Amino acid sequence: MEAKTGDPLIRLGLLEEALNLARANSLWPLTFGLACCAIEMMAAGMARFDLDRFGAGVFRPSPRQADLMLVAGTISKKMAPAVVRLYEQMPAPKWVIAIGNCAISGGPFNYANQYAIVPGADLIIPVDVYIPGCPPRPEAIIEAILMLEEKITKRGRLRKFRDVKG
Amino acid sequence: MLKDKLKTALASLNLAQVSDGDYAKTGYHLEVTAGPGQMPAVAQAMLDQGCFLESLTAVDLRESFTLVYHFASFDELCRTVVHASLTKEAKGAQAPTISQVYPGADWYEREVYDLFGIKFAGHPNLKRLLLPEDADFHPLLKDFGAEPGND
Amino acid sequence: MIELGIEEKTYTLNLGPQHPSTHGVLRVVLEMDGEYITKAEPVIGYGHRGHEHMAENRNYQQFLPNMGRVDYLHALAYNQGYCMAVEKLLGLTVPERGEFIRVILSELNRISSHLVWIGAYLLDLGAFTPILYAFDDRENLLDLLDRITGSRLTYCFYRFGGVPRDLDEEFITGTRAFIKRLRSRFRDYESLVTKNVIFINRTRGVGLITRDQAVRYGLTGPTLRGSGIAYDIRKSEPYSAYPAFDFQIPIGDKGDVFDRYLVRILEMEQSLRIIEQALNQLPNGPIMADKVPKRLKPAAGEVYQAVESARGEFGCYIVSQGDLKPYRIKLRVPSFGNLSILPEVAVDTLVADLVAILGSVDVVIPEIDR
């Protein structure tokens, strides 16, 4: 195992793996819909697509109680300070999923004379998973949650105990 | 007919033009040209006939601005457009507000100020509406340049 | 942020821009006297993406996808308004079958928008069950729209001169089945929500809007029709294929929040009637006008086209100077006028009532901010 910056100082071995498994399977998202992608995020939490079966269905309005920020929509320059503030208010460990083309790179609103938006959430906060689409289907949002779970637990799905790089 | 009542009401205000619009081509029944200073009186006349303010916007014609007011009525179909030409001045163009007649115009005038820089005299709260409060540009002006680094 | 006022006993409370009940990024700065609101000032612009500036930097076809993003819940009405405005400038006529298809899809979209509204509104008021029912109905509807348009939410389906793809048999049978299913679900909504005593207590007598206020603020849509004024562009200025259909405009009588809710429920039923009649009367023929130029250079002039979206009157004002790109496009959105009445209606209400009133106005913030 190589040491990376940002690793915890104390390694707890199996306990840490158990904690990661618990964190991955009970992500509490922050309700942070900015624009159109918010509706697909809501649909992903509803009866047909049901994020709750992955443990991620408890949307919290307050950042203090959330550990996953789903940036769904375009970040305007007026809203950017609020996004950063909300990210800083979330307690660690925390993750960010950028939903939709606007949160990845500005999306359809990114053109030469654009004055109003921040072209991409990763310019202001660190992003873990990117979901392309305009808007992405709820199935894509579920796929992103599963990818994030892999990233947190560093293991493949279905408990095959393969090591997942990155 | 609402159109005739409007024409009568507007005739007394000494406006530059009050004429029938070509509905099939433009969507207007009545086209009016007025000076910006006459707008409060025009707005009062429209309100007295029961019309509501649909939209208030501006167009930057490079040498001047045109303020465009759209009116309509709930009871009878009669779309009225009022064009008011505004000269560009070195210290910023100004026009009187109609928000004392139509409170709904409050936000429309703030938006025009935000996007064009046109000030409305007598407006109770002329602050920026859409852009951040500390922005120093007006984006819909025709000479608003490209911002590098946003590509 | 809570500050104590020095002269008076009011304090400032900030609602939003990140808040579950503001339907997007809306911020309302409240001055409170205890539990009662003395002043409510909405602060908008957190979703400003520069649509009107983009319009001047794009040609007419390139601007078409933007219309789906302005109001993403009833995107097809915005598609329709923009396409009709440009068709007026170009002098194009859409063939009859194209008009019927536009109406069918737009009315289905209106139903899906109202379903989202019911779900989200009742979630604001604290009820979790109706949103599950509403979104389930909406998923069935989106399956139908997805088949034809290819999108679930931000449609960009209409083209200048008609529609690009025709309906197929499976869509028509699926829509008929959906109409039957939704009609039976209305009974569920009635017993779950409309007759629910908690809902009635929270919404009856709250947020009254008078006719005079409606005229002075330029309200349109169900927000206006709840106050008893029967103004609907589909009836007062019929466009597209609407003159061929027989439907009613539901109105309320008191102008409170409950009336606005009821108007939307009844509007869904009327939309189902329109779709049924359209499917029965669907004519054969082409779906696109012939001889639509590839490089669109509309004639110089201006045009204003209004259509009825789920929130009210959407007006598309285009100034053309004969170029490939529009000179100015102004999007007159219904939520802009509808939200501007909030400072007046919210005075002397409780915060819980403010949430009920704000939800009943049915705003979509990206359309206000454009």
Q: Is A111's CB within 8 Å of B147's CB?
A: no
What the block records as the tokens of C65 is 């996808």
Q: Does the pLDDT value for residue A157 go beyond 70? A: no
Q: Is residue A118 part of a domain?
A: yes
pLDDT value of residue C277 = 93
**According to the per-residue pLDDT averaged within each range, which of A149-153, A161-165, B109-113 is highest?**
B109-113
Q: Is C45's CB within 8 Å of A137's CB?
A: no
Whole-Å CA distances, A75 to A105, B30, B43, B63: 10, 41, 38, 35
Residue-wise DSSP of B105-122: HHHHHHHHHHHH--EEET
Over residues C202-243, the pLDDT tens digits come to 888 888 888 888 889 989 999 989 888 888 889 888 888 899
Tally of structural domains, chain A: 1
- Segments forming the whole domain that contains residue A33: 21-153
Residues of A in contact with C69 (CB under 8 A): 35-36, 108
Q: Does the pLDDT value for residue B151 go beyond 50? A: no
High-pLDDT (> 70) share of chain C, %? 97
A111 contacts chain B (CB < 8 A)? yes
Q: Is residue A2 part of a domain?
A: no
Q: Is C135's CB within 8 Å of A39's CB?
A: no
Cβ within 8 Å of residue C198, ≥6 positions away: none
- Considering only CB atoms, A119 lies closest to which of B137, B144, B150, namely B150
High-pLDDT (> 90) share of chain C, %? 34
Task: Supply the mean pLDDT for chain A.
Answer: 84
Rounded distance between C-alpha atoms, residue C320 and residue C302, angstroms: 6
Residues of A in contact with B144 (CB under 8 A): 113, 115
Q: Are A96 and A128 in contact (CB under 8 A)?
A: yes
Residues of B in contact with A110 (CB under 8 A): 150-151
Residue type, position C62, single letter: Q
pLDDT value of residue A84 = 92
pLDDT value of residue A4 = 47
- Considering only CB atoms, A34 lies closest to which of C47, C131, C132, namely C47
| B113 torsion bin: left (phi>0), alpha (psi -120 to 50), beta (else) | alpha
Residues of C in contact with B57 (CB under 8 A): 317, 330
Give the pLDDT band of residue A1 (cuts 50, 70, 90). Answer: very low
What the block records as the tokens of C233 is 């562009």
Q: Is C24's CB within 8 Å of A61's CB?
A: no
Give the pLDDT band of residue C6 (cuts 50, 70, 90). Answer: low
Q: Does the pLDDT value for residue A20 go beyond 70? A: yes
Q: Give C40's strand partners.
A: C30
Residues of C in contact with A135 (CB under 8 A): 72, 152-154
Rounded distance between C-alpha atoms, residue C65 and residue C81, angstroms: 13
Q: What is the CATH number of the domain that holds A95?
A: 3.40.50.12280
pLDDT value of residue C280 = 92
Rounded distance between C-alpha atoms, residue C318 and residue C89, angstroms: 9
Residue-wise DSSP of A75-100: EETTTHHHHHHHHHHSPSS-EEEEEH
Chain C residue with the nearest C-alpha to that of A138: C152
Q: Does the pLDDT value for residue C174 go beyond 90? A: yes
- Please state the domain extents for chain B: 2-89
Helix (H) / strand (E) element for A129: namely: strand A129-131
What the block records as the tokens of A53 is 């079966």
What the block records as the tokens of C182 is 């939704």
3-class DSSP state for residue A103? helix
CA-based nearest distance B64→chain A, Å: 23
Interface probe for C, chosen from B57, B60, B64 (most Cβ of C below 10 Å), is: B57
Interface probe for C, chosen from A28, A37, A39, A99 (most Cβ of C below 10 Å), is: A39
Over residues A98-111, the pLDDT tens digits come to 999 999 998 888 88
Main-chain dihedrals φ then ψ at residue B49, nearest 5 degrees: -90, 5
Residues of B in contact with C336 (CB under 8 A): 107-108
Give the pLDDT band of residue C139 (cuts 50, 70, 90). Answer: very high
Rounded distance between C-alpha atoms, residue C273 and residue C107, angstroms: 10
3-class DSSP state for residue B34? strand
3-class DSSP state for residue B128? coil
Give the pLDDT band of residue C22 (cuts 50, 70, 90). Answer: low
CA-based nearest distance A85→chain B, Å: 17
Q: Is C136's CB within 8 Å of A39's CB?
A: no
Q: What is the pTM for the complete model shown?
A: 0.90
Rounded distance between C-alpha atoms, residue A76 and residue C317, angstroms: 25
pLDDT value of residue A162 = 54
What the block records as the tokens of B138 is 């007006």
C304 contacts chain B (CB < 8 A)? yes
- Kindly tell me the sign of the dihedral angle through the C-alpha atoms of C234, C236, C238, C244: positive
Cβ within 8 Å of residue B12, ≥6 positions away: none
Q: Are A46 and C134 in contact (CB under 8 A)?
A: no
Rounded distance between C-alpha atoms, residue B148 and residue A106, angstroms: 15
Strands A29-30 and A68-72: parallel
pLDDT value of residue A89 = 92
Interface probe for C, chosen from B107, B113, B138, B151 (most Cβ of C below 10 Å), is: B107
Q: Enter the CATH code of domain B2-89.
A: 3.30.460.80
- Considering only CB atoms, A113 lies closest to which of B131, B132, B147, namely B147
Domains of chain C: 3-43 (no CATH), 94-291+341-369 (1.10.645.10)
Q: Is A33's CB within 8 Å of C57's CB?
A: no
Over residues C87-102, the pLDDT tens digits come to 988 888 899 999 999 9
- What ipTM is given for this predicted complex? 0.89
Rounded distance between C-alpha atoms, residue C175 and residue C168, angstroms: 11
Residues of B in contact with A78 (CB under 8 A): 131-132
- Considering only CB atoms, B55 lies closest to which of C48, C229, C332, namely C332
Rounded distance between C-alpha atoms, residue A29 and residue A8, angstroms: 23
Which other chains touch chain B, taking contact as 3+ CB pairs less than 8 Å apart?
A: A, C
Q: Is residue A78 part of a domain?
A: yes
Q: Does the pLDDT value for residue B146 go beyond 80? A: no
Cβ within 8 Å of residue A62, ≥6 positions away: A30
Q: Is B103's CB within 8 Å of C45's CB?
A: no
Q: Does the pLDDT value for residue B95 go beyond 90? A: no
Give the pLDDT band of residue A6 (cuts 50, 70, 90). Answer: low
Rounded distance between C-alpha atoms, residue C32 and residue C5, angstroms: 10
Q: Is A115's CB within 8 Å of B132's CB?
A: no
pLDDT value of residue C296 = 85
Residues of C in contact with B131 (CB under 8 A): 45, 48
Task: Supply the mean pLDDT for chain C.
Answer: 88
Q: Is B147's CB within 8 Å of A115's CB?
A: yes
pLDDT value of residue C241 = 86
